[in-house]
Amino acid sequence: MDLSHIFVRIYVNGLNLLSLYRITARKAKIMSEINPCLSCGACCAYYRASFYWAEADDATPGGVPSHMTEKLNDFRRVMIGTNQNKPRCIALAGEIGNAVFCSIYENRSSVCRDFEPSWSGGRPNERCDNARIAWGLSPLEPNIDNAPDNLPRAA
């Protein structure tokens, strides 16, 4: 739905809100096309994110912030919030399906680093598709230029 007509006559500090709306919408579209994870986040609120215990920063400096993890068993930890019904990782910020980011992106675990959006390697990822579907989002299309590794990814 195009809401731009609502803003036609509205100005704030000399800025036409219609222009702001268009710029913001264009920016969001560009970011989404560059990295679809930035407007998704579904996998971070669908799967359990567990990893070898020593990936946490109390064992490995610069690792996963340990205060955001909890013990899963003698060998593995899990991101708080993902080992429960209706999971949502404690580190996920934003609104799923709209605008999200991983608040510990540089320190996220191997399981998160290894999770690829569909078609990022030229092939679908069924787990990505299933998480998106569960959140009412369409699976990614193969023609989208997905997720170069130099941009934040939600999972």
Give the binding site for ligand SF4 (CB under 6 A).
Answer: 36-37, 40-44, 49, 79, 89, 91-92, 102, 104, 108, 112, 115, 117, 128, 131-132, 140, 154-155
Amino acid at position 140, single letter: L
Q: Which is nearer to ligand SF4, 18 or 28 (CB)?
A: 28
Q: Distance (Å, rounded) from C-alpha 7 to C-alpha 9?
A: 6
Amino acid at position 22, single letter: R
Q: Which is nearer to ligand SF4, 13 or 138 (CB)?
A: 138
- Please report where in the chains the tokens 């989208």 appear, as a residue: 144
**Considering the complex, what minimum distance in angstroms separates the CB of residue 142 from ligand SF4?**
13
Q: Which is nearer to ligand SF4, 56 or 112 (CB)?
A: 112
In a 3-state reduction of DSSP, which class is residue 68?
helix
**Considering the complex, what minimum distance in angstroms separates the CB of residue 123 from ligand SF4?**
13
Nearby residues of 56 by Cβ (< 8 Å), 6 or more positions away? 63, 64, 65, 66, 69, 77
Other C-beta atoms closer than 10 Å to the C-beta of 99 total 15
**Considering the complex, what minimum distance in angstroms separates the CB of residue 89 from ligand SF4?**
3
**Considering the complex, what minimum distance in angstroms separates the CB of residue 155 from ligand SF4?**
4
Q: Which is nearer to ligand SF4, 14 or 61 (CB)?
A: 61
**Cβ–Cβ under 8 Å, residues 80 and 70:** yes
Q: Which is nearer to ligand SF4, 61 or 140 (CB)?
A: 140
Bridge-based pairing state of the strands 15-16 and 11-12: antiparallel
**Considering the complex, what minimum distance in angstroms separates the CB of residue 79 from ligand SF4?**
5
